[in-house]
Amino acid sequence: MLGGSGYVAGELLRLLAAHPGFELAGVLSESKPGEPVASAFPHLASAYPDARFKSQPQIEAILAEAPAAALLSAAPHGVAAPLIDSLLTVAERAGKHPRVVDISADFRYQSAEAYQDVYRHPHGAPHRLAEFTCALPEHLESLPTRHVAHPGCFASAILLAAVPLLKLGLTAPALFVSGITGSTGSGRKPVEGTHHPLRHSDVYSYSALAHRHVPEVIACARAASGVEADFSFVPSSGPFARGIHVTVQGSLKSSIDSGRAIAALRDFYARAPFVKVLDEAPRVKSVVASNYAHLSAAANGRTVAVLCALDNLTKGAAGGALQWLNRMYSLPETTGLEAPAPGWT
C-alpha cells in the first residue's frame, strides 16, 4: 500500500484488517519509514501491533519476490503516478504483474493534457494512462484495462446520483449540484478549512462553479451514460469529520412524480449491493464508516432532485477501491465490505 500515513490510507488499513482475501504485505510512507504503523493510527494498534512503515526499496523487494500482489495507492496526486510507474517497472522486470487501484487523481484522465489542464503540472507517467480506467464499480460491468483509478469522493456521490438521470434520458444534460463534505476530505495536513474553531458549527461554500473535480465528473459521466453533460457544482464544507451529502437537480424531459423517480433509481441500481434507494431523504449518519451509499429522489413534474449520502473515506475512497480490488481478483464484490454503519457518530 502506498501513501501510508493519510486518512484514506488509515481507512484502507482498517478495512484490510478484516478482509478475508487480502493480507497486508507492506505500507510505504516516505516520511515515516521504520516507524510503527500504530504511531500514525493508534486506533489500529490491535490490528497491526508489529507493523512498521516501509521505504520504497523495501516495497520494491516485496513486489519483485511475491508470487501475487496488488497495489493500493493513497499517495497524493502528483506523487502517485511516478511512484506507481517506478514500482510497476520493478515488478515487471522481475516477471511479476501486480494490479493497481489508485485513489489519487493521477490516472483519472485519459490524456496527460487533460490532467495538466486541471492540476497545472505535467503528468508523472503519461505512458501508463492507457492502462487505467476511471469509473465506479456500479457503472462498469467489466474492466477493459488492467488497472483502475477510483473517482474522488465528491465525484463518487455526484456520479451515483447523476448517471441514472443521464443514462435513462430523464433530464436535460445540464445538471446543478450542491454538496457538503466533512473535514477529512481535506486530508490529514491541517489547513484553515479543517481547523476546528473555524469549521465547528458553521457551513460555507468554496470553489463555487470552479471545483477541480468537475472535469473528472464530466468525463466519468460521459463514459458511464454516453451523454455529454454539464455540471454546475457548488461544494460546501460542513462541521463534521466524515461524510458527504449531494443534491443533483435537473429539468425533466417528461413529467414524473417522486414515486416514479425513486422507482427508476431503484431499478437502475437493483444489482448494486452497496447502493440503497430509500423512500425518505438519506442521512449522512446512516452511512458514515460504511461502504454503502443511500439515494432518494423528489420530482414535481418539471424538476427532479436526486439526493445521495456516502462516507467520503469509505465508499468515496478506500471502500470503493477494495470493491474494485475484489472484482479484479474474482472475489465477490462485497467481500470484507458489508459491515453496517456504526450510527450515532
**Torsion angle in degrees (nearest 10) through CA of 279, 281, 283, 286:** 0
CB atoms within 10 A of CB 303: 13
Strand order from edge to edge, sheet including 174-181: 204-205, 230-237, 174-181, 244-251, 303-310, 293-299, 275-277
220 is catalytic: no
- In whole angstroms, what is the distance from residue 327 CA to residue 240 CA? 32
253-290 exposure pattern, b = at least 16 Cβ within 10 A, e = fewer: eeebebeebbebbbebbeebbbbbbbeeebbbbbbbbb
Strand partners, 133: 148
Phi, psi (deg, nearest 5) at residue 283? -120, 140
- In whole angstroms, what is the distance from residue 37 CA to residue 53 CA? 6
- In whole angstroms, what is the distance from residue 209 CA to residue 176 CA? 10
Q: What letter would DSSP give residue 252?
A: B
Task: Please list the alpha-helical segments (H only) found in the chain.
Answer: 7-17, 37-40, 56-65, 80-93, 112-119, 153-167, 196-199, 214-225, 258-268, 319-328
Grid coordinates standing for 209?
462553479
Nearest to 225 by CA among 158, 145, 295: 158
Encoded amino acid at 158, one letter: I
- In whole angstroms, what is the distance from residue 117 CA to residue 230 CA? 18
Q: Cα-atom radius of gyration of the chain, to the nearest Å?
A: 20
Catalytic residue among 134, 153, 220, 308: 153
Strand partners, 244: 181, 310
User: Active-site residue numbers?
Assistant: 153
